[in-house]
């Protein structure tokens, strides 16, 4: 009996079971010659995929309407909270889009066997920037793990957005304000870096190179913008002792680290490794930008490129940004991997007085 029942069940589809009773007559098994459409009008009307799509659209419409009512309520009753909420929603959209873009780049790198240094400029910058942002977001994620800790996290993010949030979750006013704050913190180390260079120049045995380095430091300290040729004239000092990236004093490296927004509060050998890694990454980014051409960048991309390399470009026009970036690339394109220490010092040499300082020949 069990065997016959199982065989019968295997022969009957779900739609046939729906049609066992038509016009008051009970049928046990349909002949194969009778079509499904003739016996079962529901087969013609019922489609699983169509129903799923219809249900999905219905649920999505309901959620959109509910979300619109919720946002309207917040905007009326809690305008400041609504602004924060709106910024968060838009930030998550941007972060999700960036994550999808990074996934596409990673897949392309794997399938086409492309190395990081061979990527186009925009893809390289996207990978670099998202990685730095996610590293900053890790502490906030760890704090939110315990139950009910998300309420504390929300309060912390409201009162400390610059310290805890990544730029995706800053509104336009905050982005302008926070970039200015970060640059002012970075600029505090311009003086110590120049003093360190001048002090180190006394260790240079070649009198001609020593004089060039002292003149370069003096010009920047006096408010002038040095020429690219003056910077490249001392490049040999930055590939070995005393200013090579693995030969600098720990104190000097601690002043250079904040120029790249890196913490100086690490052991000396770790600071040196991080500086070398970030300097090489910046050099590869410059080479990719050189292949693309700075003229291909939008104004927002120009200002971001200048900011990454040490210049606060928010108060500058596009032509000034392009001029400064061109000078930076003239230095960068002339350097070997072993000379990346000069690239890090150029953050101070090229940006400390720009655009107000005169260029002295």
Using pLDDT thresholds of 50, 70 and 90, give the confidence band for residue 91. confident
- Give me the pLDDT at residue 47, please: 53
Comparing 61-70, 85-94, 186-195, 337-346, which segment has the lowest mean pLDDT?
61-70
- State the Cα torsion 52-57-63-64 to the nearest 10°: 160
The DSSP symbol for 225 reads B
The CA-atom distances, in angstroms, between 110 and each of 74, 96, 120 are 45, 21, 15
Backbone angles phi, psi at 21, to 5 degrees: -120, 110
- Give me the pLDDT at residue 326, please: 96
Q: How many CB atoms lie within 10 A of CB 124?
A: 21
- State the Cα torsion 339-268-165-159 to the nearest 10°: -140
Most confident of 13-17, 53-57, 147-151, 209-213: 209-213
Q: Rounded to an integer, what distance in angstroms lies between the CA atom of residue 52 and that of residue 50?
A: 5
Comparing 139-143, 187-191, 238-242, which segment has the lowest mean pLDDT?
139-143
4 burial level (CB within 10 Å; 0-12, 13-18, 19+)? exposed
- Give me the pLDDT at residue 79, please: 76
Using pLDDT thresholds of 50, 70 and 90, give the confidence band for residue 51. low
- Give me the pLDDT at residue 208, please: 95
Q: How many CB atoms lie within 10 A of CB 265?
A: 8
Which residues have C-beta within 8 Å of that of residue 113, sequence separation ≥ 6?
none
Buried b / exposed e along 28-43 (16+ C-beta atoms within 10 A) = eebeeeeeeeebbeeb
pLDDT (average), residues 16-29: 38
Q: Rounded to an integer, what distance in angstroms lies between the CA atom of residue 242 and that of residue 202?
A: 10
pLDDT (average), residues 122-151: 82
Q: Rounded to an integer, what distance in angstroms lies between the CA atom of residue 354 and that of residue 151?
A: 44
pLDDT (average), residues 273-297: 95
Nearest to 333 by CA among 291, 281, 274, 275: 291
- Give me the pLDDT at residue 171, please: 86
Comparing 73-77, 168-172, 203-207, 208-212, which segment has the lowest mean pLDDT?
73-77
pLDDT (average), residues 186-207: 95
- Give me the pLDDT at residue 357, please: 66
Nearest to 231 by CA among 327, 356, 325: 327
Tokens 């000092």 found at: 237
pTM, full prediction: 0.77
- Give me the pLDDT at residue 360, please: 42
More confident: 27 or 98: 98
Number of Cα atoms under 13 Å in the Cβ half of residue 123: 17
Q: By the 8 A CB rule, do 113 and 197 touch?
A: no
Comparing 27-41, 163-177, 199-213, which segment has the lowest mean pLDDT?
27-41
Please say if the pLDDT value at position 267 is more than 90. yes
- Across the chain, mean pLDDT equals 82
- Give me the pLDDT at residue 126, please: 95
Using pLDDT thresholds of 50, 70 and 90, give the confidence band for residue 120. very high
Nearest to 226 by CA among 235, 218, 216, 234: 216
Comparing 4-8, 180-184, 201-205, 285-289, which segment has the lowest mean pLDDT?
4-8
Which residues have C-beta within 8 Å of that of residue 273, sequence separation ≥ 6?
none
Question: Strand ranges (DSSP E) for the chain?
Answer: 21-22, 25-26
What residue segments make up the domains of the chain, in order of their start? 2-45, 77-170, 187-351
Q: By the 8 A CB rule, do 303 and 316 touch?
A: yes
């Amino acid at each position: 009996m069990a065997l016959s029942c199982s065989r019968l069940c295997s022969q009957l589809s779900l739609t046939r079971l729906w049609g066992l009773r038509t016009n008051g007559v009970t049928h046990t098994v349909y002949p194969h010659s009778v079509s499904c459409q003739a016996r079962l009008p529901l087969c013609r009307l019922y489609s699983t995929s169509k129903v799923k799509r219809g249900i999905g659209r219905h649920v999505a419409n309901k959620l959109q309407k509910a979300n619109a009512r919720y946002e309207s309520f917040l905007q009326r009753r809690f305008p400041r909270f609504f602004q924060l909420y709106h910024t968060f929603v838009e930030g998550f959209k941007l972060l999700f889009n960036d994550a999808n873009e990074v996934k596409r780049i990673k897949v392309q790198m794997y399938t086409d066997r492309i190395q990081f240094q061979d990527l186009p400029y925009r893809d390289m910058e996207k990978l670099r920037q998202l990685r730095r942002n996610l590293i900053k977001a890790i502490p906030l994620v760890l704090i939110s793990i315990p139950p009910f800790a998300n309420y504390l996290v929300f309060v912390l993010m409201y009162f400390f957005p610059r310290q805890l949030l990544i730029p995706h979750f800053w509104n336009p006013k905050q982005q302008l304000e926070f970039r200015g704050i970060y640059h002012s913190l970075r600029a505090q180390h311009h003086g110590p870096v120049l003093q360190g260079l001048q002090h180190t120049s006394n260790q240079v045995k070649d009198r001609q190179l020593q004089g060039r380095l002292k003149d370069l430091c003096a010009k920047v300290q006096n408010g002038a913008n040095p020429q690219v040729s003056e910077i490249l004239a001392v490049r040999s000092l930055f590939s070995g002792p005393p200013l090579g990236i693995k030969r600098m004093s720990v104190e000097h490296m601690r002043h250079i680290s904040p120029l790249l927004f890196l913490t100086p509060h690490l052991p000396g050998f770790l600071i040196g490794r991080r500086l070398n890694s970030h300097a090489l990454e910046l050099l590869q980014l410059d080479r990719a930008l050189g292949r693309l051409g700075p003229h291909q960048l939008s104004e927002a991309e120009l200002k971001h490129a200048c900011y990454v390399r040490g210049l606060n470009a928010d108060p500058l026009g596009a032509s000034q940004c392009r001029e400064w970036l061109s000078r930076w690339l003239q230095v960068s394109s002339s350097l070997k991997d072993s000379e990346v220490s000069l690239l890090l010092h150029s953050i101070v040499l090229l940006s400390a007085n720009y655009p107000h300082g005169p260029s002295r020949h």
